[in-house]
Amino acid sequence: MSATAFASVFVALYVAHSVGDHWVQTSCQSADKGKAGWVGRLAGARHVATLTATKLALLLPVAALLGLNFSVLGLVAGMGVDGVTHWWADRRSTLAWLARVTGKAEFYSLGTAAHPAHPVSTKGGPAAHLGTGAYALDQSFHHLWLLVAALIIATV
């Protein structure tokens, strides 16, 4: 497949990721996927299932409209790698562990009361924050694996 085809697959997956992670994911999935035990594992699995469906719902029409042909093996392998890595990171404790072992623990806590330089309100308590380091690391981790998935889909 050409570089243009790879780029098309990546863009479709990237947009679908944003839609699936923010619009399709339910509040329950978001709240529960980081919990310990089967409650968290199953919430994460439900999220990844709807996320993967969203990605396929956007990728397949893009591929058809642009005349892209990729193998079933490449599609299954790419979506599988994406789904497994997404589930792993969304368990939260796993991504927090990765942040610790890579020296990013302080950044991971950015935007929360746990960060040493957290924003404070006029009353001295933690102030609301529009984003967190955990969210930024989560999304960048997902973007890395979207790239890998797109490469697999486009080349296998």
Question: How far is Cα 12 from Cα 83, in angstroms, rounded to an integer?
Answer: 15
CA angle 103, 105, 109 (to 5 degrees): 155
The residues spanned by each domain of the chain are 3-155
- Give the pLDDT score at 123: 79
Taking the whole predicted model, whether its pTM rises above 0.85 is answered as yes
Rg (CA), the chain: 18
Question: How far is Cα 155 from Cα 15, in angstroms, rounded to an integer?
Answer: 20
- Give the pLDDT score at 32: 92
Q: What is the DSSP string of 74-141?
A: HHHHHHHHHHHHHHHHHTSHHHHHHHHHTT-HHHHTTTSTTSTT--B-TTSSBPP-S--HHHHHHHHH
Question: How far is Cα 108 from Cα 50, in angstroms, rounded to an integer?
Answer: 26
Query: For every one of its 156 residues, what pLDDT tens digit does the chain have, with 9 covering 90 and above?
Result: 689 999 999 999 999 999 999 999 999 999 999 999 999 999 999 999 999 999 999 999 999 999 999 999 999 999 999 999 999 999 999 999 999 999 999 888 876 666 666 666 777 776 666 678 889 999 999 999 999 999 999 999
Max Cα–Cα distance, the chain, nearest Å: 59
